[in-house]
Copies of this chain bind each other. A is one copy, B any other.
């Protein structure tokens, strides 16, 4: 199984990630998830979310999840990018792509990976408020 994990403070560049996609001729399904920062976090309008991680543990926990994914489903490729630092509203914080022979397993693997990430991977977020100088859009 091809694995790519990127934890980065740079903007997630979906076009480049798409260009870099490769899949063998036996693969029939690509499921891609993009998590985007919403303007309302717990009922409050925010300007951004700030993501923090404990990076060595995050990488280790992602590696364990990738192992588990590989055991459960015939996934050919998993790529995951999580942005860190300040992510403005309407920009992606998470990008996940799963390539598998069939649709069912690609959807299952993608949802499993995100669910488990939110349970065990040490990444936290806190809202960044509009300052008094900023007019909420």
Contacts and interface: CB of A to CB of B under 8 A. Distances in A.
A66 to B, nearest CB: 20
A90 B19 contact: no
A93 to B, nearest CB: 9
Range of interface residues on A (Cβ < 8 Å): 20 to 34
A15 B25 contact: no
B15 A103 contact: no
A103 B35 contact: yes
A81 to B, nearest CB: 14
Given A15-B15, A15-B18, A107-B111, A29 B33 contact: yes
Interface stretch (A2-10, A37-45, A50-58): A37-45
A45 to B, nearest CB: 9
Contacts of A89: 25
Contacts of A26: 38-40
Dominant SS among interface residues on chain A: mixed
A85 interface: no
A137 interface: yes
B14 A90 contact: no
A31 interface: yes
24 contacts: A14-B18, A15-B15, A15-B18, A15-B19, A23-B90, A25-B38, A25-B89, A25-B90, A26-B39, A27-B38, A28-B36, A30-B32, A30-B33, A30-B36, A31-B31, A31-B32, A31-B33, A32-B34, A33-B103, A33-B107, A35-B103, A107-B107, A107-B110, A107-B111
